[in-house]
Structure formats: C-alpha cells, structure tokens
Structure 1
C-alpha cells in the first residue's frame, strides 16, 4: 500500500474525527497509527480521516515533545 507523503513516520497530523494531534508512528494495514506528542498509547486512524495540522497545532505538538524530553 502506498501512503501519502504527509503520513510519513514522524510527521505531525490531526485525527479529523476527534481533533486530536498525533505523531505518525507507522502504518498497519489500511490505517495510520498516531501517538500523542507527549507519549502514550497509539491509535489507528483511516487515512481519509488524517489531516495536516494548522501552524498553531504543529507548534503546540512540538513544544509538548520538547517538554517531554526535558521532563516537564
């Protein structure tokens, strides 16, 4: 299965169904697997329900990742 370039591992994406921001961890079957930026359990999202984040959503996710690294 071919995946959109925006759903490459490490990309920040948003689940359209619930508005949750996640980092692409991989692909299982037809699904994109997202994980919360601060870590936690992955969830599966159909590719048609994944969208690119707004600049504010992406910045917020990157800050969460940085804070996790620094133990905040």
Structure 2
C-alpha cells in the first residue's frame, strides 16, 4: 500500500488535515488537491487551479512534499495571472 496516512495499527486515518492543506491523492494519479473537508468516509479534495471537487479514500492520501506544494502554489498563481481562476 502506498498510503502514508494510516496509523501503525492500520485502523483508519491517522489525522484529518486542516481545510486548505495541500495533499496528494495516490489513488488518483498522484493528483495534488486542497483538502476541503469530510464527505462521509471520504475526504473532499479540490484541484489547486479550480474545478470540481473529488472524493478520495483517506488511506490513499498523503501530505504534499515541499516540491509538490511549490509546484501547486506556482500553478495557482499562474492560473490567476492568466485569468483562468479568480
């Protein structure tokens, strides 16, 4: 299993991130998303540059590493400067 969000006992997610935290959904092609909240047993994630939210299995989500965060922030700033998002 590639997830890094499972506690040592293997029962459920270790913690729920704060809204706005950048995370990587390893079950969705390592897509970086912004944690939005809980959606039943799933986590609601939103693309960094806007778009529809998707639901991810918590055990397949890991925190974004520093390079992934930098790329996501840069992509969001570029999208804003180009008028693709507000």
- Give the TM-score of the pair, scaled to structure 2: 0.70
CA drift of 1:3 comes to 7.5
Which structure: larger Rg? 2
* Aligned pairs (5 A) from 1:12-23: 12-17=22-27, 18-23=29-34
Give me the CA root mean square deviation: 1.9
Residue equivalent to 1:42: 53
Which runs of no fewer than 5 residues in structure 2 stay unpaired?
A: 1-12
- Give the TM-score of the pair, scaled to structure 1: 0.82
Aligned pair count? Answer: 70
Runs of 4+ in 1 over 6 A off after TM superposition: none
